[in-house]
A and B are shown apart, each in its own frame.
Chain A
Amino acid sequence: MGRQLLLEHINVAGIQSYEVYKQKGGYAALEKALKTMAPDAVMEEVKKSGLRGRGGAGFPTGLKWSFLDRKSTKPRYLVCNADESEPGTFKDRYLMEKIPHALIEGMILSSFALGANTAYIYIRGEYFYVHKILEKAIDEAYAAGWLGKNIMGSGYSLDLYMHIGAGAYICGEETALLESLEGKRGNPRIKPPFPAIAGLYGAPTVVNNVETIAAVVPIINLGGDEYAKIGVGKSTGTKLISASGHINKPGVYEIELGVSVEEFIYSDQYCGGIKNGKRLKACVPGGSSVPILPVDLITKTAKGETRLMTYESLSDGGFATGSMLGSGGFIVYDETACIVRSLWNFSRFYHHESCGQCSPCREGTGWLEKVLHRIEEGHGKMSDIDLLWDIQRKIEGNTICPLGDAAAWPVASAIRHFRHEFEYHVKYPEKVKDPKHGHYEPIMPPKKEEAVIV
């Protein structure tokens, strides 16, 4: 196993508590920053570290911070996006539940760097019990003097609060999250202005994912340059990967960016191979929104190079033969899984979660769900496959927020790589009526040489 910067002490008894977290070196980074560094110096280390947003977009964090409107006379806010709801992703829950103080320390450090005196952690409603754990951790941090007025005599003051959501995937989109935090429906805002200029209550705001904020702690401990030495190229540091599906060892793994996909799937340190001795069929490497890859493109790129767990390598080949690292929600499919049923499931999810603001997404996701259901139930026509292609193209790029793209990409990639399986559903309606048909007659993707890439 590579270096563990976030989960190093995950198995230490009592690490949830302030005392044990502190004993294990917790709050040292914050103390270092408050006593020896100016806020800009903290931001500089984050820039040097090459840290990229861990929520899915992979945007450089230091750069995002630098967009904050410093001339504004309004208060600044830091908001943590703990609305983790991308299917296949559960790393933030794990981190917050097991080491809540890693997030709290990161929040204080980041707020200090940004000059924010009020910060909120927006947690998804379903994580009620995690909300409770974090509230306790915040109370402990206040009691120890790390929050409140004039923290440790530094002159810097910060209030940190929890805010709970109520079940809406769309609130993971940062402007929808801010709307929700203002007590409204989670409808994404039209950008610009970006939150850095006009965010929460119209004031300059930075919204960062849980893991991104927690990563600021080791960055300050090690220094940005040291952190940047881990990883490959522009994929620096470590990343939490949520592994699920047909694997022997599902769970959250901290990897050094640059581990090979093959090692990640088959090594006993990570997923431990495919369950029940089945064959690997497909993989969604970065949460439900990213393109699905067939077996031939998972461990090797189209050029035949080893595929690595990095932002660049996973997207090698663009959408024709690549995918994305996304949120690190790594979903593995064995040969029994039906790609059409999986896609119908995803499309139902996006239809359910569309906020309804933009017609292409509101109507298009419903169409996708219905047409896919028809094919899966054995009532499809060959022309339905082209219809699906047409619908997803008309959604992508035509909506205010990326939910539309997120609904379109899985459809495009499934048709691109598994068209024969859609055709099979149309040709053999009697066989596919049983939802478990893949167990009796697995349908594997064609070999790469035989596949037609559109």
Chain B
Amino acid sequence: MTKELKFSDETLALANKIIARYPEGKQKSALLPLLHLAQAEFDGWLSPAAMDYVASLLKILPVEVYEVASFYSMYNLKPVGKCTLEVCRTVPCWLNGSEDLVAYLEKKLGVKDGETTKDGMFTIKTVECLGSCGTAPMLQCGAEFHENLTNEKVDALLTKLKTEGTRKTYCLGDK
């Protein structure tokens, strides 16, 4: 049996504040931000239960949430590691060594692009242009951009993330 998912009081208050930004009857507009809240609150991914919960908050059909969640690349529809290393691979980053960066991460972590390390700590995910072309190569982890990366910087970053051991997500609140 799955336990019932619910936002904390604090997140629910934020969700309601976001919903109020849109005109009466247009609460569906809040779907994208609310899915971000759900992903941050419920272990970094959107389970069917999490999506159903968001649908109930917005009083829309679950399918209206599924079709949106599957469209946008930032929503994870499968569980991911605590830290998803989103490496930009589009041309400006490629010109500055993003292929070497991915290869280095894959070797260092022992997993391929799209996979999660056995300890559940890291997922490697190559993504398209993150608007950091002047500071390439780069990766995003949670809301943070890590730019002008070298192997040494990657080593330091992985050590730091591992020591902290916390889940890195995009979060709209002040957390």
Question: Contact residues of A with B, CB < 8 Å?
Answer: 75, 84-90, 92-93, 118, 120, 124-129, 131-132, 161, 163-169, 180-186, 201, 242-246, 250-252, 284, 288, 329, 331, 333, 337, 341-342, 345-346, 349, 352-353, 355, 435
Known: A161-B21, A183-B28. A252 touches B94 (CB 8 A): no
Do the beta carbons of A435 and B170 come within 8 Å of each other?
no
8 A-B residue contacts at CB 8 Å? A75-B23, A90-B133, A167-B75, A183-B32, A201-B26, A245-B133, A331-B95, A353-B128
B91 proximal to A (CB < 8 A): yes
Given A165-B32, A166-B74, residue A184 in contact with residue B131 (CB < 8 A): no
Known A166-B73, A345-B90; judge A182-B130 contact (CB<8 A): no
Given the known inter-chain contacts A166-B72, A166-B73, A180-B32, please indicate yes or no for A87 contacting B128, CB distance below 8 A: yes
Q: Which residues of B contact A128 (CB under 8 A)?
A: 142-143, 170-172
Chain B residues with CB under 8 A of A185:
67-68, 71
Total number of B residues with any Cβ neighbor in A under 8 Å: 47
- Contact residues of B with A, CB < 8 Å? 21, 23, 26, 28-33, 35-36, 58, 60, 64, 67-68, 71-75, 89-92, 94-96, 99, 127-136, 140, 142-145, 170-172
Instruction: Give, as a whole number of angstroms, the nearest-CB distance from A8 to chain B.
Output: 20
Q: Which residues of A contact B74 (CB under 8 A)?
A: 125-126, 166-167
User: B72, A435: Cβ atoms under 8 Å?
Assistant: no
A87 B172 Cβ-Cβ under 8 A: no
Which residues of A are found within 8 Å of B67, using beta-carbon distances? 185
**Known interface pairs A129-B143, A183-B28, A201-B26. Does A124 touch B73 (Cβ–Cβ under 8 Å)?**
no
Closest Cβ neighbor of B136 among chain A residues: A244
B90 touches A349 (CB 8 A): yes
- Most B CB contacts (10 A, CB to CB) among A85, A90, A329, A353 go to A90
Which listed residue, B29, B33, B129, touches A349 by the CB 8 Å rule?
B129
- Docked complex Cα distance between A304 and B111 (Å): 52
**Cβ-defined contact, A242 with B133, below 8 A:** yes
With both chains docked as a complex, state the minimum distance between the C-beta of A257 and any C-beta of chain B, in angstroms: 20
- Which residues of A are found within 8 Å of B130, using beta-carbon distances? 126
Q: Do B99 and A435 have beta carbons less than 8 Å apart? A: yes
Q: Are B30 and A183 in contact (CB under 8 A)?
A: yes
Instruction: Decide: A166 and B32 in contact? CB cutoff 8 A.
Output: yes
Chain A residue numbers with a CB within 8 Å of B135 are: 250
A180 and B140 alpha carbons, distance in the complex (Å): 23
Q: Which residues of A contact B92 (CB under 8 A)?
A: 87-88, 244-245, 331
Q: Contact between A163 and B134 (Cβ–Cβ < 8 Å)?
A: no
Cα distance A346–B93 when bound, in Å?
12
Shortest C-beta distance, B69 to chain A (Å), equals 9
Q: Are B136 and A164 in contact (CB under 8 A)?
A: no
Contacts of A169 in B (CB 8 A): 128-129
Taking a contact as CB atoms under 8 Å apart, the answer to whether B95 and A245 are in contact is yes
Residue in A132, A163, A251, A337 whose CB lies within 8 Å of B29: A163
Would you call B134 and A251 a contact (CB within 8 A)? yes
State the CA gap A207–B65 with chains docked (Å).
Answer: 25
Q: Separation in Å of the B78 CB from the closest CB of chain A?
A: 16
Chain A residues, Cβ within 8 Å of B72: 125, 165-168, 186
Chain A nearest CB from B17 CB (Å) reads 10
Structural contact, B29 and A182, CB atoms closer than 8 A:
yes
Distance of A242 Cα from B36 Cα, bound (Å)? 29
CA–CA, A186 and B172, complex, Å: 21
